[in-house]
Amino acid sequence: MAGQSRASSCPTAILVKFRIPPARRRHQTPDVSTRARLLIDRQAYPRPQDYLTAAVGSARRPQLSPTRAMPPPPRLHLLLLLAGVVTLAVADDTRYNASTCQKSYPCGANVNIHYPFFLADAATAIDGYAALSYCGYPGMAVACDDGGRATLKLRDRDYTVLAINYDNHTVTVADADVLGAGDCPRVTHNVTVPAETWLNLSTTANDNLVFFFDCVFSAAVQRPPMLPPPINCTGFSVRDGESFVAAEPDVRPRDDLQRACEAVVVAPVLKYWLLDDEYFPRLNDDGYGKVLKQGFQLTWDPSAGPCYICEDSGGQCSYSQNGEFLGCLCSDGRVRNPGCVVIRDPCVEHSRCGKVYHSQYSQFVGR
């Protein structure tokens, strides 16, 4: 009977041999009491696929021993972390019309509109969402008219898109009113980039021109000694007093000038053209108008917000017209959140139990 009992313990002996240091296993056999202390309830270590099933919402959960609840093996920590991140990704019943994300739309000779920009009239409906949505970043809608002019709105102002560099994440725009006002435009407003858009004024490519319009000096408000010559451009709209323009590093808006002048307007321009030898010496003539027509630069940061995860997984972000992130539009026509990563059962598809399979890069994570 003792021999039979010992033989029936053979499957357990495998666990005992795994736990004993190599030197002791080669030279001696542990006695019965030692084996008893080393025996571990098999329920204390659930199978890896049990953790996967529990993580994605199955009713079957690993049952830990009530007498000895052991922590999961360290090898499963990565599995649990990834499963928690992509829990929402497996609920991918929502679909979208793939035409929402057009690859590219040419507008004129120099501008191609594609993600993260989108056509202003390309809003569409996604199943399960009441508000219309679009494929792109908030505030980056571009309208293309029949003449091939691309227009971007900042607040209620129109700016003509001159160029988009998708590699450097920059877009060059010019005030539409300035472009249509001849050689000596009169700037009427500051540039305001709304907070809800993902665009920002470039801090490296731009400088500012400061305009002082309709300035009248008196004994109470005297003319500053360092003020540049007044604007002397044929076709400039002259009203009361004098108007001036200067690069912001040379002259800044001051209280005394603001009291003397009807309006002070700051306009961003490209630094490259402002410092050009042809335009800068004639800034108070037609030089300022030529610099304004070259536009200024806006940038966007693709690593900000939830779009980084979505795009890194091969998807494209969808937002509602109210600026709410709706999900990641994936190439298979489904909407997932936050990205297009799918956890599948590797035991079924790849005979690699306990592994996490990444559908995009076709490799196993965790060993």
Residues 6+ apart with CB under 8 A from 185: 177, 178, 289, 292
Residues 6+ apart with CB under 8 A from 241: 214, 215, 216, 217, 260, 261, 262
C-beta of residue 82 within 8 angstroms of C-beta of residue 358: no
Question: Residue 297: is it exposed, middle or buried by C-beta count within 10 angstroms (0-12/13-18/19+)?
Answer: buried
C-beta of residue 152 within 8 angstroms of C-beta of residue 173: yes
Of 278, 299, 320, which closes a domain?
299
The answer to the question of residue 272 being in a domain is: yes
pLDDT at position 222, please?
A: 85
- In single-letter form, the type of residue at position 247 comes to A
pLDDT at position 356, please?
A: 46
The answer to the question of residue 331 being in a domain is: no
The answer to the question of residue 225 being in a domain is: yes
The answer to the question of residue 64 being in a domain is: no
pLDDT at position 85, please?
A: 42
Strand pairing class (141-144; 261-270): unpaired
pLDDT at position 255, please?
A: 65
Domain range spanning residue 252? 175-299
The answer to the question of residue 164 being in a domain is: no
Which of left, alpha, beta for 155 (phi over 0: left; psi -120 to 50: alpha)?
left
Other C-beta atoms lying within 10 Å of the C-beta of residue 274: 22
C-beta of residue 112 within 8 angstroms of C-beta of residue 106: yes
Residues in the chain: 367
The answer to the question of residue 125 being in a domain is: no
Of 247, 264, 299, which closes a domain?
299
Distance CA 161, CA 296 (A): 10
Distance CA 365, CA 79 (A): 8
What b/e readout covers 178-217, taking b as 16+ CB neighbours within 10 angstroms?
Answer: bbebeebbbbeeebeeeeebbbeebeebbbbbbbbbebeb
The answer to the question of residue 260 being in a domain is: yes
The answer to the question of residue 100 being in a domain is: no
Distance CA 73, CA 45 (A): 8
Distance CA 155, CA 130 (A): 25
pLDDT at position 162, please?
A: 98
pLDDT at position 234, please?
A: 85
Of 281, 299, 317, which closes a domain?
299
Question: Residue 15: is it exposed, middle or buried by C-beta count within 10 angstroms (0-12/13-18/19+)?
Answer: middle
First CA to last CA distance, the chain: 42
C-beta of residue 95 within 8 angstroms of C-beta of residue 334: yes
Tens-of-pLDDT digits for all 367 residues of the chain? 444 444 444 444 444 444 444 444 444 444 544 444 444 444 444 444 443 344 334 444 444 444 455 555 555 444 444 444 444 433 445 777 766 676 788 998 899 999 999 888 766 555 555 456 788 898 999 999 999 999 999 988 999 999 999 999 999 999 999 999 889 999 999 999 998 889 999 999 999 999 999 999 988 888 887 788 999 998 888 888 899 998 886 666 566 777 889 999 999 999 999 988 888 888 989 999 999 999 999 999 988 777 889 999 999 998 887 788 888 989 888 889 888 976 555 554 555 554 444 444 333 334 3
DSSP H or E stretch at residue 358: strand 356-358
Per the structure, the count of domains in the chain is 2
Distance CA 124, CA 135 (A): 9
Where do the DSSP E strands lie in 295-353? 296-300, 316-320, 325-329, 335-336
